[in-house]
Amino acid sequence: MQVKENRQLTKDVYALKLVGDFPYHEVQAGQFVDIKIGAGLEFPLRRPLSIAHCDVKKQELTLIYRVVGGGTTWLRHRDVGDSVDVLGPLGTGFPLPKPQSSVLVVGGGVGIPPLYQLVREFDSSIQPQIILGFRDKFDCFWIEEFAEYGKVTVCTEDGSKGHKGLVTTALGAENKWDYLYSCGPKPMLRALKGHFEGTTIQGYVSLEERMACGIGACSGCTCLTSDGKGTKRVCKDGPVFPWEEVVL
Amino acid sequence: MSVDLSVNITGLTLKNPVMPASGCFGFGREYGEYYSLDRLGAVVVKATTLHPRLGNSTPRVTEVTGGMLNAIGLANPGLDQVLEEELPWLANQNVPVIVNVAGDTVEDYCIVVDQICQSGLAHAIELNVSCPNVERGGLAFGVDPQVLRRLVEAVRPYCTLPLIVKLSPNVSRIQDVAMAAAEGGADALSLINTLVGMQIDLRTRRPVLANRTGGLSGPAIKPVAVRMVYDVAKAVDLPLIGMGGIFTGKDALEFIMAGASAVAVGTANFTDPRACPRIIRELRELMAAEGIKNLEEIRGCAL
Ligand SMILES: Cc1cc2nc3c(=O)[nH]c(=O)nc-3n(C[C@H](O)[C@H](O)[C@H](O)COP(=O)(O)OP(=O)(O)OC[C@H]3O[C@@H](n4cnc5c(N)ncnc54)[C@H](O)[C@@H]3O)c2cc1C
Ligand SMILES: Cc1cc2nc3c(=O)[nH]c(=O)nc-3n(C[C@H](O)[C@H](O)[C@H](O)COP(=O)(O)O)c2cc1C
Ligand code: FES
């Protein structure tokens, strides 16, 4: 694929828009792509990045990434017109909620991107409540974009924008939701599961794990099933799981 | 010029010398979605053990410059499921199947080898001897020539198929373990398995892998692997399957010149899911360009 745009959103978060040959129509919200880094063999493992937006009409794929190491630094230096080797879409995404249901969407940091593709796929009868957690006011991105699809609440760890504290502090005691969709750091997913313990909410969480093959062949990325007796591959059976199925 | 890529290893004829390396290809299903497996010389499956194994805690893979470390811990669905589900599926793919076998004890190895041979669903056995020997305080079977010879001798009567012993590179003289495997009754040898390594996370100040150490593979190990194939080719008169950092047709040819009859491709599958068919094509083009009609012409020419 070719780079159409590689735009800085915050100090260290970028949005990469790709065009070119890709099975756009196959994309399911929550799936990811695996990107080859560099022309040589210095970086033999691909980097998994969630699909933030797949525009089937315009034939464009948008990924949002935080620069954390060698691979994402290489990605940041791609210019318009450069080629990028993209494998995907990979994995199993989010099952969509029934029309008319009440839906809570919670994202933290660079766990937020796949939730954008998700809220866009919701039935028009659904007005999700969307909670987005960031480190501080400088770390925020795509709040307006999400606001087109539901009611957005922002939380920052230092309180410099929106609610102060973790996403669970913005929830209150009530539980009126049929579904919860979440992606972000594991402690956040765990806190959410704890918060809704004993309720009937159906939760779906997207997990992160270090990957090698990205397609389910190497067993590198497994997580434990809740009974402790089996494993699931995050890259193939996930990254999205019903939260009762796996150990968080 | 037409080139002949076929090779014969201990009575097993392969249409080309390229096969995926064990553990890097599962049981073939996933890569079968990228190309037809019958294009491969053979398929080598994930290590199969008597009982299912979940493997080590994660993170169990990580990248290093020009390579990767893995500490999967032999995760596999166990002998019963391999016999009931995986091998019957592979038997329909029209490609020779080599089953990689691992165990904690000599008895485990014998049972698994026996049942796989009796199933009629495999074409050869590859003994993974890099696993910790539970009866010997966890030291790998493959690092002590005497222990290795006794393991191969014990398995041999149960193995009615060609028996390939996969050597560990974590030894001071690989020729010695190669000779021990040959004395024990191996029909062929494959090498190398991964080299023990470690990576430390500067932020947490702890090893990245939950298991602390992991096996190094990929381009970073290729020169070591080529040297070991060369040394073993000089020391024993058995067919060799060479591997370690093979990413291109040129890499494959290098191993063949060092004495390998066939080659296996591991980490490269992760970088490029179509690596194996690409390497086969590159090898054919390279041979045509160099005027090499068949691999026997150049095998071991560097020795
Ligand atoms: C399914 C999935 C979806 C993801 N989606 C996004 C996204 O939309 N946006 C985003 O910014 N990040 C996302 N990540 C995390 C992203 O893959 C890592 O930040 C990235 O691989 C780091 O690469 P690096 O070379 O810059 O960092 P390094 O730390 O130098 O990477 C070294 C190795 O560790 C792996 N690694 C490091 N951090 C992670 C991590 N958090 N998860 C998995 N592997 C890691 C790398 O892939 C590489 O193999 C996702 C991860 C997964 C598993
Ligand atoms: C993720 C992973 C899993 C592996 N699992 C096995 C295994 O189950 N049995 C085995 O004999 N070797 C295993 N290996 C070793 C490879 O088969 C091969 O010997 C090694 O990776 C060197 O080849 P490469 O550099 O082409 O990857 C594994 C390697 C990797 C990277
Ligand atoms: S990364 Fe290989 S199985 Fe998931």
ipTM of the complex: 0.95
- Chain A positions touching B216 (Cβ under 8 A) are none
Nearest CA to ligand 1 atom 37: A210
- Chain B positions touching A231 (Cβ under 8 A) are 54-55, 75
For the ranges A9-13, A32-36, B129-133, B266-270, the lowest mean pLDDT is seen at: B129-133
Report the alpha-carbon distance of residue A85 to residue A97 in Å, rounded: 33
- Chain B positions touching A41 (Cβ under 8 A) are 66, 218-219, 247, 271
Give the fold, CATH level 3, of B7-55+74-197+216-297.
TIM Barrel (3.20.20)
Q: Shortest CA distance to A12 belongs to which of A71, A67, A73?
A: A67
What's phi and psi for B43, nearest 5 deg?
-115, 130
Q: Which ligand is the nearest neighbour of the Cα of B217?
A: 2
CA of B209 to the centre of ligand 1 (A): 15
What pLDDT was estimated at residue B132? 72
Each residue of A145-160: pLDDT tens digit?
999 999 999 999 999 9
Give the number of other CB atoms < 10 A from CB of residue B138: 10
Q: Give the gap in angstroms from C-alpha B297 to the nearest C-alpha of chain A.
A: 30
Catalytic residues of B: 131
What pLDDT was estimated at residue B63? 98
% of chain A exceeding 90 in pLDDT: 94
- Decide which of A22 and A167 is more confident: A22
Nearest-by-CA chain B residue for A218: B24
Strands (E), B115-270: 124-128, 163-166, 188-191, 195-198, 200-201, 206-207, 213-217, 240-243, 262-265
Using a CB–CB cutoff of 8 Å, tell me whether B23 touches chain A.
Answer: yes
Tokens read off for B242: 């060479």
Q: Do A46 and B271 touch (CB under 8 A)?
A: yes
Q: What is the pTM of this model?
A: 0.97
Mutation choice for ligand 1 from A35, A47, A235, CB with most ligand atoms inside 8 A? A47
- One pLDDT digit (tens) per residue for chain B, 303 residues: 789 999 999 999 999 999 999 999 999 999 999 999 999 999 999 999 999 999 999 999 999 999 999 999 999 999 999 999 999 999 999 999 999 999 999 999 999 999 999 999 999 999 999 877 667 766 789 999 999 999 999 999 999 999 999 999 999 999 999 999 999 999 999 999 999 999 999 999 999 999 999 999 999 999 999 999 999 999 999 999 999 999 999 999 999 999 999 999 999 999 999 999 999 999 999 999 999 999 999 999 999
Each residue of A123-140: pLDDT tens digit?
999 999 999 999 999 999
For the ranges A154-168, A209-223, B39-53, the lowest mean pLDDT is seen at: A154-168
Which run of H or E residues covers position A195? helix A186-195
What pLDDT was estimated at residue B137? 66
User: pLDDT-derived band of residue A174, with 50, 70 and 90 as boundaries?
Assistant: confident
What pLDDT was estimated at residue A240? 98
Q: Which ligand is the nearest neighbour of the Cα of B20?
A: 2
Q: Shortest CA distance to A63 belongs to which of A128, A15, A7, A111?
A: A15
For the ranges A78-92, A169-183, B31-45, B173-187, the lowest mean pLDDT is seen at: A169-183
Collapse the DSSP code of B97 into the 3-class scheme (helix H, G, I; strand E, B; otherwise coil) and give the result. strand
Residue B127, by phi and psi: left (phi above 0), alpha (psi -120 to 50) or beta? beta
